[in-house]
Amino acid sequence: MPSRSENVRFHPVFGVTAALLAVGGCVTGSSTGPGGPTQSDRLMRAYPDLQNGRFAVIADFENPAHMELVQFVGASPGAKCELKRKVGRKDTGRYGLRLETASPDDTLTLNNDNAAHWSLTRDWRPYDLLLMSIESPRPDLRASVLIAAGSSEHPPAVESSFLLERGWNLLRFDLEEIAEHLPLDDVRELKLSVAGAERPVRVHIDDIILTGNRRDLFGTAQDTKGRLYVEQVGRGWGGGGCSS
């Protein structure tokens, strides 16, 4: 299990222009034998936010086609990004993404620029949370995640940075909050970088997933008689109903 779960808040970024190079490689993924758990089963067991079964995998790196989304700009000597066996979360598969970095300018990007057999989901409106697992070798590294959306030359974006603990960190991004700044029907890319390393460190990334995390707390939103209900929506609360 991850060492912690963190709810992440974003702030808007203006005038973002993407310059992306150096596509990562890929290796053969794993398969599940007859009668064994599926990859969806593993993910749902590992992440409680997936329990309602409504989720979309952006990349869990068990399928080599997921690497079609990956682009990497290495600004520091020796920086690289590659798919590796036995570096992902053990409870969700064998593969993960290894990022070797020594500068916050070493940037991992996921987008559809080179996608052929797998694509980044662009319409995030049916979902409430974005999940991402990051393993840090140290407790003093700081990761930054940027999300950009829209088709303009300078698409709007939001960015957040957060301190990583040693071990696996589960990051939970509230899409309702992001929707205040971005058109969630046209998400174009995610960018990740790591600061705080004076010499190269290895950071592992796994299981980037969108999920619909709605749970009835009182009544039900499906009540056709208009009764009061309260539900959890992502990290927030929702409710409704009317008098008869």
Bridge partners, residue 55, by sequence: 211
Q: Which contacts qualify for 41-48: CB closer than 8 Å, 24 or more apart?
A: 42/91, 42/92, 42/93, 43/92, 43/207, 43/209, 45/91, 46/1, 46/89, 46/91, 46/92, 46/207, 47/131, 47/170, 47/207, 47/209, 47/211
Q: Is 212 left (phi over 0), alpha (psi -120 to 50) or beta?
A: beta
pLDDT at 241 (0 to 100): 43
Residue with tokens 């991402």: 132
Is the distance from CB of 112 to CB of 138 less than 8 angstroms?
A: no
pTM of the model: 0.78
Is the distance from CB of 3 to CB of 165 less than 8 angstroms?
A: yes
Residue pLDDT tens, the chain, 244 long: 555 666 666 667 644 332 222 222 222 234 445 567 899 999 999 999 999 889 999 999 999 999 999 999 999 999 999 999 999 999 999 999 999 999 999 999 999 999 999 999 999 999 999 999 999 999 999 999 999 999 878 889 999 999 999 999 999 999 999 999 999 999 999 999 999 998 999 999 999 999 998 754 445 555 556 555 444 544 544 334 443 3
> What residue ranges define each of the domains in the chain, with the CATH number in brackets?
4-212 (2.60.120.260), 214-244 (no CATH)
Q: Give φ, ψ of 56 to 5 degrees.
A: -135, 125
Side chain identity, residue 237: W
First to last CA, the chain: 47
State both tokens at 42. 């593993």
Angle at alpha carbon of residue 155, lines to 154 and 159, rounded to 5°? 110
Q: How many CB atoms lie within 10 A of CB 37?
A: 12
The C-alpha atoms of residue 104 and residue 198 are separated, in whole angstroms, by 10
